[in-house]
Structure 1
């Protein structure tokens, strides 16, 4: 969490003047009120001392974080504004992760909002073989809003919800019990240390970040005028694709690199969407939405993918026959140097959309022989012909899937 603490006060030498201007004073009072905090908090000694520490932090870093966050921040801001929670909670995400969807902590917290696995799942985020929705900027923000509302229902004040988000419900409840008060000034007492140091700085950090990020004076004085309008336009679009779709195929259709489209979809663990039934929503640059509608043809995208976990007794040959493909395809897709496999090893299995031919059963044929003849798995033949078992009759016509 050291990196997060270092972003704490991130601001400029000229901010002394910024903090005392009437407009900024009123802005800070407004933010404090939204958190259920009295305006006298502006006299908090630690908050004031932050001004003296400004020269230890890089303004350029703060502004860079704002700039890099502009890919998703406009949409996140709208979600938060529409939710009824304090607008300044947007900067809780900045404090937690620097607006980085792939942020990861030693405590196994992940994403923009630094969700732990259990909390993420409790608030509806999926974490499985194919996705980690803690990294999904939109879904994780919706989950964070639910979580903050839940904490507000427990503690009754937004500043307590923010502190609980940082240190946990149990830690805050113990702190309130020890302090015999939920008053912010009491809980933030640096001498009594009712709360961990990071939690004592948390509200101060959010208020400071929100005030500076929304200060035209601050932005202009640091030659970053372009940030003033950076969040006003839509920056990404949501489109639906079929199960198992390759991100590479989508990227090629809109003239992007695979790396770029992956950066818009950090929730995906692999270069394809989950193979679950139905459609899956992915994110694209907003200016590529028209290209997608015009150029992407799902019928031309024959490949679909899923992940197979190696079991005892498996081999590349057995797995390949099971799915009716050559074992070299599996080996190549997974960049395997040999045919040796490990139990529970994850293998990407590319399934190619088949075309069909017809075969009439002859005397002496068995389903096994037909399977070998056309290099198609027996189970695939059974499924393609809606058969209940492997029994066949002379003269019977079988549909044979042919991999293209």
Structure 2
């Protein structure tokens, strides 16, 4: 028995060290959320943590993490910039599992699951060309600003996390009803001061943060490998002209198009918005030097228009209306027949040469929702005054459905 104990002693000491180390880390994680150490005994949080072990072993989860490795450092850097605890990385994981295309039934989207009103409030653009809720950098900047504002309002990080889920108005009312902002009080299942979803939400974030810092768990899973690998990678922001194609950029810098698209999920099509002079896209940092050496702007570039199909539309009719070759529209949209569905979005690529020719032959344009004389002027490179004279317009207002001669 003495010899057996001597043999087991190193393993017992190692287990003790891991336990002590993990306990210290867990207390530190709770402290970063301004949560008391007694929360370690919360049965619901512990149940979430243990049940998540199976999720972490799931191949789909590791697929999402494998895609996320390149932008995790960027998220960490932005959180640090706004003095937000690094553990809030796991709020993004709880929201979307790091899937940039994550979309909820409530119409929330992106890594941080912004609803359209909140997204626009924090400067994220959502239109026919882009949805910046899926922009890795801009959405994280917006989320960091939002969380900072919530922290300033409530004074504790766990309250900021809860408010991110249920809204600051609902949380303020809950604190008023409870007469306290203590977590143990707000989580009371009988009093239901905050919604059940929010009670589980804060526990899930804490559980994920603890699992991500649990030495014993990390040693048994690929998760440590994924997070450590993330430290070696990063992304760079580069400016390209409006209407630039991702396909062209991918060929110039020698990067698979699929990899470039993963970093630019905010673009709804293969190109940057054509109604702006320039727009930022993301490339791997290791490709930055190559981009600077090889990238050049095409002199004859495409100007893209998004056509929303009417009930009677066909590709032939659309091609004739825009003065663009039938085959160009078919190929660009990967269409196999002349038929298009009602309200289907069809991309019309019109290079600058085509625009000049069609201007001389009285090209007609049907005004879409959101159009202004300024946006039409920029898209077709025709002065506002020219459009006003041709169409006998007195003011600058144009109506949806109005037909303009260009």
Q: Which moved more, 1:106-115 or 1:51-60?
A: 51-60
- Specify whether residues 200 and 225 from structure 1 end up closer, same or farther in structure 2 by C-alpha distance, changes over 3 A only: closer
Corresponding residue of 1:105 = 104
Distance 2:115 2:77 in 1: 24
Corresponding residue of 1:360 = none
Distance 1:283 1:150 in 2: 27
Q: Deviations over 1:261-299 (max 9, x none)?
A: 211210000111101222111111222223323333322
Is the 1:18–1:218 contact (alpha carbons within 8 Å) kept by the matching residues of 2?
Answer: no
- Specify whether residues 384 and 41 from structure 1 end up closer, same or farther in structure 2 by C-alpha distance, changes over 3 A only: closer
What pairs with 1:118-129 in structure 2 (closer than 5 Å)? 118-129=117-128
Q: Which runs of 5+ in 1 are unaligned?
A: 1-16, 358-370, 391-404
Q: Which runs of 5+ in 2 are unaligned?
A: 1-14, 365-379, 391-406
Distance 2:17 2:185 in 1: 24
- Specify whether residues 347 and 47 from structure 1 end up closer, same or farther in structure 2 by C-alpha distance, changes over 3 A only: closer
Corresponding residue of 1:36 = 34
Is the 1:243–1:279 contact (alpha carbons within 8 Å) kept by the matching residues of 2?
Answer: yes
- Specify whether residues 247 and 376 from structure 1 end up closer, same or farther in structure 2 by C-alpha distance, changes over 3 A only: farther
TM-score of the aligned structures, taking structure 1 as reference length? 0.76
1:152 CA drift (Å): 2.0
Is the 2:243–2:301 contact (alpha carbons within 8 Å) kept by the matching residues of 1?
Answer: no
- Specify whether residues 184 and 98 from structure 1 end up closer, same or farther in structure 2 by C-alpha distance, changes over 3 A only: same
Corresponding residue of 1:59 = 57
1:51 CA drift (Å): 5.7
TM-score of the aligned structures, taking structure 2 as reference length? 0.76
Corresponding residue of 1:153 = 152
Distance 2:123 2:168 in 1: 19
Q: Deviations over 1:8-44 (max 9, x none)?
A: xxxxxxxxx7998222222222222222222222232
Is the 1:104–1:111 contact (alpha carbons within 8 Å) kept by the matching residues of 2?
Answer: yes
Distance 2:45 2:327 in 1: 62
Corresponding residue of 1:219 = 218
Distance 1:329 1:41 in 2: 62
Corresponding residue of 2:287 = 288
Corresponding residue of 1:243 = 242
Give aligned pairs, total: 357
Structure with greater proportional helix content = 2
3-state DSSP of counterpart to 2:305? strand
Is the 2:48–2:203 contact (alpha carbons within 8 Å) kept by the matching residues of 1?
Answer: no
What pairs with 1:359-398 in structure 2 (closer than 5 Å)? 377-378=361-362
1:323 CA drift (Å): 4.8
CA RMSD of aligned residues (A): 3.5
Corresponding residue of 2:21 = 23
1:235 CA drift (Å): 2.6
1:224 CA drift (Å): 5.5
What pairs with 1:4-15 in structure 2 (closer than 5 Å)? none
- Specify whether residues 18 and 323 from structure 1 end up closer, same or farther in structure 2 by C-alpha distance, changes over 3 A only: farther
Is the 1:102–1:135 contact (alpha carbons within 8 Å) kept by the matching residues of 2?
Answer: yes
Is the 2:236–2:282 contact (alpha carbons within 8 Å) kept by the matching residues of 1?
Answer: yes
Q: Deviations over 1:154-209 (max 9, x none)?
A: 32222111011112223323332332322100111233332232311222222222
